[in-house]
Amino acid sequence: MSQAITSSITTSGTTISNRHVLHCRMQSEPAGLERLCRVVRVRGFRIAGMSVESSGEHFDIALTLEGSRPISMLQSQLLKLHTVGEVVLGAQQARSVA
Amino acid sequence: MNGAQHILQTFQQHSIATVFGYPGGCIMPLYDALVGDVSVEHVLCRHEQGCALAADGYARASGNLGVCIATSGPGATNLITGVANAFQDSVPLLVITGQVPSELIGTDAFQETDVLGMTLGIVKHSYLVDDADSLPGILIEAITLAQSGRPGPVWIDIPKDILLTQVNPETADHEGCEHSESTEPRTDSATHNAAIDKGINETLRLLREARQPLLYSGGGITLAGAEDSFREFAEHSALPGVVTLKGIGNPGRHNPNHLGMLGMHGCRAANRAVDECDLLLVFGARLDDRATGKPETFAPNAKIIHIDADSAEFNKIKAAAVTINANLNDVLRALTREVQAQPLNIEAWQKQCRTWLTTGGFQAADNEEALAPITGPAFVRQLSRIAGDDTIISCDVGQHQMWVAQHYQFNHPRQHLTSGGLGTMGFGLPAAIGAQFAKPGTAVINVAGDGSFMMNAQELATIRRYRLPLKIIILDNQCLGMVRQQQELFYGNRESHINLDDNPDFVAMARAFDIPALHINRTDQIRRGIETIFAYKGPMLLHVAIAREENVWPTVKPGGSNRDMMENTKPAKKKTEENAA
Ligand SMILES: Cc1ncc(C[n+]2csc(CCOP(=O)(O)OP(=O)(O)O)c2C)c(N)n1
Ligand SMILES: [Mg+2]
């Protein structure tokens, strides 16, 4: 009845890697970007692209990510960072099979 | 007032009365400010890991913020294990380190390490102070943040020049403070409250539908200060319940529906109930793998309701039918009112669970044969009977830790200090020191393993210096018992580097620190040994020689399902004989 959460594994056993775009806004601070990237890596995603705009007090960061775990799990982990204010999911992109 | 003096003033303003630290070059301005300061008690440990773990034990025992201080470079790196330990178990810590002067950062200066970078993964938040005027705001924010929402360590790295710079709190920047509640739910409160109400209603509906509902609670109960409301709910709902390692003590000693700890070394009754339940009410727990075993086979027939202060825990390991991100007290009280008004109808299930408990609890371990060698479980059971109701036990990591978890009857979760998430050998002694500072009038006992004890044995000097009356009990099996057990059961009994039969003479060692000590090795000496150390006013060590081959039972193979628990099929003594033959 209750399901275990794992990566999306197809019946043939291959892991499906999805591409996502996340838009994050965070307070600028010395280790801000490292903090963000570390969480992305540890929670099972690869950064395929990244752009950062700094507007005074804030960073606006667009991350293109690849990974097989549910992206909502990464969103909630990023939101736990004290200096992250907002994490918005962009449209899901093409799927690639790893 | 300089930055260092301002830190001490902030401590005083926030009722921080005890800090654990170790001086060195870059933190010297703070130590200079401590000269003649009477508002804060600085406890000098003998290793920075001891400082961090003592601060952790202080926080666990009291519920207040633990504070530790160290210098840059090796001071900071020595703190890391203790801070990671606090992070994994959501313990509120404020960590302050000196850093090389601002203009030397990035020059590979003497004792420069990138503390901020090195510790990103083990803190709730961290700061490198780059401007003296931001120090007041950062301090206040850090103190708040460490203790709010899901608590955790917050680290402030402060260059030496900033400690020496004049700070004017009147003009200083307090801006940081406005962000300090950002770990709390970020949606607006009306939407959030509506979601909580909906979750509670949904929970009640499922609870009334369920035939075999089970209560599952973890360390989050204590973190939320929800011990009383939890007990009331457990009592009025009369739900059968299980606890995680960190939830031990949640239901108290006398709840008739309590089944005990679940998981890898949990009891059969608790794991069975999880296996069979049709609704699992998870309060303040993160469904850690030591508790769940293989997630696919965990609670296979149950809908899960997950209630936690940290919404990132929802659906992480198991999909939940209902999630409630709220203060546990609020949810527990609302549910209690409802089940009081209309009790649950689960008698058959309660009866079933109690039957499982009679055969699958932890009770079957006494060995009263007078001359027999001491076993860990038998010792812990005696200890539990003799120790007072509010005695605090801090453990190290290994078999002895599990025997304490299984056989000691805890009345309250804050009595049981154990390194759950990180599993840090060497936790017990410094944690006991911290607990004794937090609770000077309470009996504190460190139950140590012979391996773990040696990891922070230098803290005997701290006990001696402050004449702390805490007691140390070493359960000495002359080996890294938990590793030996796994090698025996899962690696074809090939023992590899677990032998400690050349341990020091622990009694002589304690005495070298001016701490009296006693040795016992027979079952009939247990009672007198325990009573003797309790009767002694100051610190005392009891060295207990226990059987080497004893295992922790039951057990689940790492990565296996909790339903496939292994029981003791081969008595330890017999195995030794076979080995000898
Ligand atoms: C710092 C650290 N290093 C290694 C381990 C792995 N480990 C877990 S239990 C254990 C054995 C502990 O031996 P001891 O303290 O004597 O306890 P026993 O299991 O014998 O009761 C080891 C090495 C650990 N948990 N922590
Ligand atoms: Mg041992």
| Residue pLDDT, tens place only, B406-431 | 999 999 999 999 999 999 999 999 99
How do B66-70 and B213-217 pair as beta strands?
Answer: unpaired
> Is residue A22 situated within a structural domain?
yes
Mean predicted confidence (pLDDT) in B196-208: 97
Q: Is A2 on the interface with B (CB under 8 A)?
A: yes
Q: Determine, for residues B179 and A27 on separate chains, whether the beta-carbon distance falls below 8 Å.
A: yes
Alpha helices in B119-267 (DSSP H): 135-147, 160-164, 189-209, 220-223, 227-237
Instruction: Kindly tell me if the per-residue pLDDT of B581 is higher than 50.
Output: no
Instruction: Kindly tell me if the per-residue pLDDT of B183 is higher than 60.
Output: no
Instruction: Kindly tell me if the per-residue pLDDT of B383 is higher than 60.
Output: yes
User: Nearest Cα to B244, choosing from B226, B273, B264?
Assistant: B264
Q: Give the separation between CA B475 and CA B188, rounded to whole angstroms.
A: 52
pLDDT band, residue B577 (cuts 50/70/90): very low
Q: Is A58 on the interface with B (CB under 8 A)?
A: no
Tokens of A75: 């969103």
Q: What is the domain-level CATH number for residue A71?
A: 3.30.70.260
Q: What share of chain A is helix, strand, coil (3-state, %, to 5)?
A: 20, 45, 35
Three-state helix/strand/coil letters over B123-162? CCEEEECCCHHHHHHHHHHHHHHHHCCCCCEEEEEEEHHH
The CATH code of the domain at B3-164 is 3.40.50.970
User: Is the preceding peptide bond at B373 cis, omega within 30 degrees of 0?
Assistant: no
> Is residue A7 situated within a structural domain?
no
> Is residue A5 situated within a structural domain?
no
pLDDT score recorded for residue B184: 46
Fold of B189-360: Rossmann fold (3.40.50)
> Is residue A63 situated within a structural domain?
yes
Taking contacts as CB-CB distances below 8 angstroms, the residues of chain A near B302 are 1-2
Taking contacts as CB-CB distances below 8 angstroms, the residues of chain A near B299 are 2
How do B66-70 and B41-44 pair as beta strands?
Answer: unpaired
User: Which residues are CB-neighbours of B571 under 8 A, at least 6 positions away?
Assistant: none
The C-alpha of B278 sits at a distance from chain A's nearest C-alpha, in angstroms, of 9
pLDDT score recorded for residue A98: 41
Given a contact cutoff of 8 angstroms between Cβ atoms, the answer to whether B530 and B555 are in contact is: no
What are residue B44's DSSP bridge partners?
Answer: B21
pLDDT band, residue B571 (cuts 50/70/90): low
> Is residue A33 situated within a structural domain?
yes
Mean predicted confidence (pLDDT) in B114-122: 98
| Each residue's pLDDT tens digit, B48-94 | 999 999 999 999 999 999 999 999 999 999 999 999 999 999 999 99
Q: Give the separation between CA B94 and CA B76, rounded to whole angstroms.
A: 13
User: Which residues are CB-neighbours of B200 under 8 A, at least 6 positions away?
Assistant: B324, B331, B334, B335
- CB of B486 within 6 A of ligand 1: the answer is no
pLDDT band, residue B580 (cuts 50/70/90): very low
User: Nearest Cα to B356, choosing from B258, B484, B493?
Assistant: B258
pLDDT score recorded for residue A13: 62
Least confident span in A78-92, B33-47, B365-379, B492-506:
B365-379
Q: Give the separation between CA B157 and CA B166, rounded to whole angstroms.
A: 17
> Is residue A83 situated within a structural domain?
yes
Q: Which of B183, B186, B304 sits opposite A2 (nearest CB)?
A: B304
pLDDT score recorded for residue A16: 81
Per CATH, domain B376-550 is 3.40.50.300:
no
On average, the pLDDT of chain B sits at 94
Q: What share of chain B is helix, strand, coil (3-state, %, to 5)?
A: 45, 15, 40
Alpha-carbon Rg for chain A in angstroms: 14
Mean predicted confidence (pLDDT) in B123-141: 97
Given a contact cutoff of 8 angstroms between Cβ atoms, the answer to whether A81 and A66 are in contact is: no
pLDDT score recorded for residue B177: 47
Give me the residue spans of the domains in chain B: 3-164, 189-360, 376-550
Q: What is the pTM of this model?
A: 0.94
Q: How many helices (H) and strands (E) does chain A have?
A: 2, 5
Mean predicted confidence (pLDDT) in B501-508: 98
Instruction: Give Cα B92 distance to the centre of its chain.
Output: 12
- CB of B423 within 6 A of ligand 1: the answer is yes
| Each residue's pLDDT tens digit, B298-308 | 999 999 999 99
End-to-end CA gap in chain A: 29
Q: Give the separation between CA B70 and CA B217, rounded to whole angstroms.
A: 36
Q: How many domains does chain A have?
A: 1
| 3-state secondary structure (DSSP) of residue B262 | coil
Q: Report CA(B570)–ligand 2 centroid distance (Å).
A: 20
Same fold, B3-164 and B189-360: yes
> Is residue A3 situated within a structural domain?
no
CA atoms within 13 A on the CB side of A3: 7
User: Nearest Cα to B4, choosing from B92, B75, B116, B97?
Assistant: B97
